[in-house]
Amino acid sequence: MSAPNPPTPAWGLYERLLPAEIEAIHAAHPVAYLPWGALEYHGKHAAVGLDGLKAHGLCSALARTAGGLVLPPVYVAANTIKTAPDLAHKRHSLDFTENTLRVLAREHFAQLADERFRVVFTLCGHVGQPHYDIIKDEAAQFNATSTATRIIATSETDLIDKSIVIVNHAALGEVSFLMHTAPDCVDLTRLPVDRVPSLEQDAVWGPDPRESSAEKGAAYTAAFVAGAAKLINTTLASL
């Protein structure tokens, strides 16, 4: 007789669950996933919600492996491309103040700790600065005073080897993630055919997005899940 398969980790989408379902998953895996996105122009070829869609897709894939509850994305961001002084991409972004971001981060962490999650895995799909550092700073401030709940604040490229995917905006990495997780939110035919896309003209920063594919997105996701699951397990063991 072959060995039985290990039980599938219990996981779910928080906002879609009944209290008893939440309690069952929480009892097995007291881990919350908080995808943090933005509504930000990502060129003519990608949806403005890319960062949140990407973070939510990655958190869902991670929860399938590590167990726990995935919250809906927070779509409030500061330091979007709208405010970049040298760029003319002023439409299709909602840009909030850094103070609003701080308050939202602090209150999400406090409320999720109040719900007795042991680990809150905060995945920043938007890494504009100081937006990203603000969320990490609020996490560090929370962790300095809490022993029962640990906040992890990170981004996908911090958990994947740079030989696989690097930090980018609307380029090969982000667009491949999106093609994997939400293919209807990408249209590669809107990219230029006769020149390499640029930051100034196309809001593309990083490797050529015309090479993007769902298959690459799946490979990047697998690399992310491996790194992130290890981090969550190490963190849970340290508590």
Query: Mask of contacts with Zn ion, 174-193, x by CB under 5 A?
Result: x-------------------
Looking at residue 86, the DSSP 8-state letter turns out to be T
156 binds Zn ion (CB under 5 A): no
202 binds Zn ion (CB under 5 A): no
C-beta closer to Zn ion: residue 51 or 95: 51
With contacts defined by CB under 5 A, name the span among 42-50, 60-68, 143-151, 216-224 that binds Zn ion. 42-50
C-beta closer to Zn ion: residue 34 or 50: 50
Residue nearest to Zn ion (CB): 51
How many whole angstroms separate alpha carbon 114 and alpha carbon 213? 40
C-alpha count within 13 angstroms, C-beta hemisphere, residue 82: 17
Q: Which of 51, 95, 138, 202 binds Zn ion (CB under 5 A)?
A: 51
Of residues 72, 52, 81, the one with CA closest to residue 156: 52
95 binds Zn ion (CB under 5 A): no
Of residues 2, 96, 115, 91, the one with CA closest to residue 43: 91
How many whole angstroms separate alpha carbon 108 and alpha carbon 118? 14
Using CB under 5 A as the criterion, which residues of the chain lie in contact with Zn ion when the complex forms? Answer: 50-51, 174
